Amino acid sequence: MSNRLGVVKTPFLGLPLLKEIQADPLTAATRLQHQCGDVAEFEILFRRIVYFFSPEAVRKVLVDHHDDFERETRLLHIFESFQGRNVLTTEGADWERQRRLLTPAFSPKRMDGYMNLMQAAIDSCVSEELPTVPGQHPSVDVDAFTTRITMDVILRTLFSHASSREETRQASLAIRALSRQSMREVYWTFVPPGWLPYPGRAAKMRNLQSLRRLIAAHVDARLRHRSESRTEAPAVGDVLDMMLQAGDDDARLSTQEILDNCMLLFGAGFDTSASALTWWIGLMATHPEVMGELRREVDAACADRLDLAGMARLPFLNATIKEAMRIYPPSTALFTRVAKRDMAIAGTAVRKGTLVVAPIWQMHRNERYFANPETFAPRRFLPGAPAIPRGAFMPFGAGPRFCLGQQFASVEIALIAAHLVRHFELDLESGDELPQPFVDLALKPKTPMKVRFLRRDGARRAATRAVGI
């Protein structure tokens, strides 16, 4: 119910609306957008909340007025209880220092080195999980496959550690359970202190312990190795190495901060990339004409291994990845800020303490900026296509807190995607209809997405047989 443009009446302290958002944040935000247009304002439990659906307003919040907003304290507390105090869960000077010290590990010039580690993960996981013999075409649970491969990538690039299938299976079960628990806690009306027994606490503690053990074992081993070698340890060339070397005597990451940031980078480093790849694979499996065009580009551009220069020669591959992230943005949840003072944003009064939401899903599907927004049309991202307005496409966020791993994720996703295009035909088992998405921190398929992976030379042989050659 709306009593004037943009203002939504929320009876019963807004609890029914809170329940609606909690059950399905994407559908709830779409309903608010249809009801209100570019701005939806309401109160839940006396808290003012504003959804800004226009890119202009969202850029004002994240970029132009970033100093006037902060991350929500309650959200930071919840994430801190999972990951400790890292670059995601801190604010102000603490965040600035950690971000400055971590940035070199994710600079473009580090990517060449990481690409070798990424390629090793791709070769190993593809040979373990996908058919190696022409003619085989098993049906694969896409999300399990992309989780396996992106987790191996992050473990190799963080710690130079090649993971086993069982190790990634265990860790991904723990991460999934923790993601669900964190999404649950975010919508609780009361955040219980850590010592109080609350629903899900025991499983949360158990899963956290097993993940912390995994991360701490790598960090401890590296610290031991450095201290035993007594001289400045030779660089291994992974992200942990960069963290240990970062800064000077005035500003360094403490051992605890290194552990907490490894917890964050491990989770953030594979879950969102896995989500991006899952939806990309689903879209390619249902758009064979796009796949055919892409294959011609990839075959022409790379003889064997891709390097950074080679990637620049793959505009259509990059366009398909961007278009997949437009339709299915991996990180849609909890993109929020709190106003530190009274102000006006794009003509809307925003009072101090207001929770501002940037609903990326709806922004990416706004027909004002994207013609036929539900259609998979990668050409809209090709050089020479009409310019996309600033802020209308922001899978990695914007402003000073934009994704630290943007370059890393882009290289990783392109490497994996190029490998799949060159070696496999993809075919969605259930026909043309992709599963519905749901927000599980990252955007995941609600029901398993099953795709048949058919080795390409096998596909060609089958086609040749079919025409009797």
Residues near ligand HEM, by CB under 6 A: 87-88, 99, 264-265, 268-269, 272-273, 276, 330-331, 335, 395-397, 401, 403-405, 408-409
Q: Which is nearer to ligand HEM, 18 or 239 (CB)?
A: 239
- Nearest to ligand HEM of 7, 236 (CB atom): 236
Least separation, in Å, of the C-beta of 163 and ligand HEM? 15
CB atoms within 10 A of CB 367: 9
Rounded least distance, CB 76 to ligand HEM, Å: 10
Q: Nearer to ligand HEM by C-beta: 211 or 265?
A: 265
| Nearer CB in complex with ligand HEM: 10/146 | 146
Please report, for residues 47, 80, 121, 143, 276, the alpha-carbon distance to residue 337 in angstroms, rounded to integers and kept in the order given.
13, 17, 36, 30, 24
Helix (H, G, I), strand (E, B) or coil at 437: strand
To the nearest whole angstrom, how small is the minimum distance from the Cβ of residue 171 to ligand HEM? 15
- Parallel, antiparallel or unpaired: strands 355-357 and 47-52: parallel
Q: Measured at the alpha carbon of residue 193, what is the angle toward residues 272 and 14, in degrees to the nearest 5?
A: 70
Shortest Å distance, C-beta 109 to ligand HEM: 16
Q: Work out how close the CB of 139 gets to ligand HEM at its nearest, in angstroms, rounded to a whole number.
A: 25
In the bound state with ligand HEM, the residue whose beta carbon lies nearer, of 378 and 397, is 397
In terms of phi and psi (left: phi > 0; alpha: psi -120 to 50; beta: otherwise), the region of 69 is beta
Q: In terms of CB distance, is 2 or 366 closer to ligand HEM?
A: 366
Amino acid at residue number 247: G
Q: Are 443 and 306 in contact (CB under 8 A)?
A: no
Q: Kindly state the tokens that stand for 109.
A: 């010039």
Tell me, what DSSP letter sits at residue 287?
-
> Are residues 354 and 48 in contact, defined by beta-carbon separation less than 8 angstroms?
yes
Long-range contacts of 204-208 (CB under 8 A, 24+ apart): 204/82, 204/177, 204/178, 207/174, 207/175, 207/177, 207/178, 208/82, 208/174, 208/178
Residue 296: strand pairing partners? none
Four-point Cα dihedral 39, 44, 46, 48, nearest 10: -20
Q: Which is nearer to ligand HEM, 324 or 454 (CB)?
A: 324
Cβ atoms within 10 Å of 448's Cβ, excluding its own: 14
Closer to ligand HEM by Cβ: residue 179 or 273: 273
Rounded least distance, CB 263 to ligand HEM, Å: 11
What number of CA atoms fall less than 13 Å from residue 4's CA on the CB side?
1
Least distance from ligand HEM to the Cβ atom of residue 408, Å: 5
| CB-nearest residue to ligand HEM | 405
Cβ of residue 269: shortest distance to ligand HEM, in angstroms? Answer: 3
